[in-house]
Chains A and B, each alone.
Chain A
Amino acid sequence: MLQTNLEHIESEEQLKELIENNEKVAVCCGRMGPMCIPVYDIFEIFQEKYPDIQFWDMDFDIPDASIIKGLPECRKFWGLPYTIYYRNGKVMKATSSIQSAKEIKSIINDVFA
């Protein structure tokens, strides 16, 4: 279980429901590691700044994380965390490894504008 203040996605069904019922969803799939924690933290800060976006996390090691790992956009990823931005149920952008607040802000402005 990830020790963050974000809400955790715990199953494939939950993720499917989330992206079906929300226009803008960002999911950070990782562990409690040095590259992942900064992204969770930025998500927590951005929850307030971007109330129209759902920011969630998902434990990379639970079996249902295969829904993220198996995405075509993640096929060549070799670095945690995998961060996926969905709009209307579709993957708009996926990143691998740590991202700065500035990079995340830029992606949000790009895909959720």
Chain B
Amino acid sequence: MQKFDVIIIGAGPAGLAAAIYTARAALSTLVIDESSAGGQVKTTHQVANYPGFVEPVAGHELAGNMRKQAEKYSTKFRLAADITALYLSDQEKWVELDDEDKYTAEFVIIATGSSPRLLNIPGEQEYKGSGISYCATCDGEFYKDKDIFVIGGGNSAMEESLLLLQFVKSITVIHQFDELQAEKITADKVTTNPKVNILWSHEPRAFYKRENVMVLEAENLKTNKRIRLERDGIFIFVGLVPNSAFLKDTPIQLTKYGYVITGPRMETNIASVYAAGDIRDKKHRQITIAVGDGTVAALEVIHKV
């Protein structure tokens, strides 16, 4: 079992900010992530609201710099590594990875963030990349002059719809409520576009493919009646889910939605275990806030050592 002063689970902005602080304070720091470093930032096309950058910075560049900065101060990384066992108690903390390497530390910072929500309905996995997409920037041009569905009515759905409108012939928005949840200024730009129509109070139940056409089976949430509609493609933007499944067998307190409950100093209900970034139960989720959370958690650790 290898021992570190701090184990940080999650290599997004919160985890990397925490690592920069703890490593600079000469605490041996290990960062573990099931993917690569950068969290959701690395998949953000451009970041325009991160202080210090006059011009928008590419998300992957910002994420890459955060990682390099943490590495510069001797942070160790275990990336693309799955946690197979996790033990967290007031007295003892350890993590085991899929290659059976085991690590222990006096302090643990959980910073696993959140991920785009999947619908988890039949056909979604099967047609990912061949009719179902999650990224307008990436795949919009495949649907030039095509008719598509957009699933979702929040900010990301409307922002991505605006991008898609540059390419597609029409968008049918499928939304579970009677009104959009997106900010009005963005929602108005979409809803007033003549290429857009909205199917309110409907939720997808399955996706099929008929030759080259995607078929959506949707349920009217008021009448429970199911309908089948056809379009050339489907874009899904239905919010985020916390990456907290790996905590289910630990005593860490979560909200009913799966977010970690913390105090103002990022402390969880387990001594010397902190949570930072989008995994925390809080109102606002921004890169700057995640970085702030990671900093607070790291400073708490540093002051306790």
A residues near B (Cβ < 8 Å) are 3, 30-38, 41-42, 44-46, 49, 76-80, 95-98, 100-102, 105
Contact = CB atoms under 8 A, between A and B. Distances in A.
A33 B140 CA distance: 12
A33 B141 CA distance: 13
Nearest to A44: B36
A105 B98 CA distance: 11
Interface of B: 34-38, 42-45, 58-61, 79-80, 82, 128-135, 137-139, 142-143, 212, 233
A34 B44 contact: yes
User: When A and B form their complex, which 6 residue pairs have the shortest distance between CB atoms, in order from nearest?
Assistant: A96-B129, A97-B129, A41-B36, A79-B129, A34-B43, A101-B80
Given A35-B139, A42-B80, A78-B142, A96 B130 contact: yes
Contacts of B42: 37-38, 41
Nearest to B130: A76
A98 B1 CA distance: 34
B35 A41 contact: yes
Contacts of A33: 45, 135, 137-138
Nearest to B82: A102
A11 B80 CA distance: 30
B197 to A, nearest CB: 22
B138 A36 contact: yes
Nearest to A36: B138
A32 B130 contact: no
Nearest to B59: A34
A102 B34 contact: yes
Contacts of B60: 3, 32, 37
A37 B61 CA distance: 11
Contacts of B35: 38, 41-42, 100-101
Nearest to B115: A100
A62 to B, nearest CB: 16
A81 B205 CA distance: 27
A34 B139 contact: no
Nearest to B143: A78
Contact of B43 (A3, A38, A100, A102): A38
A77 B38 CA distance: 27
A95 B135 contact: no
Given A34-B45, A37-B42, A37-B43, A97 B80 contact: no
A77 B43 contact: no
Contacts of B138: 30-31, 33-36, 79-80, 97
Given A34-B43, A35-B134, A97 B38 contact: no
B80 A96 contact: no
Contacts of A100: 34-35
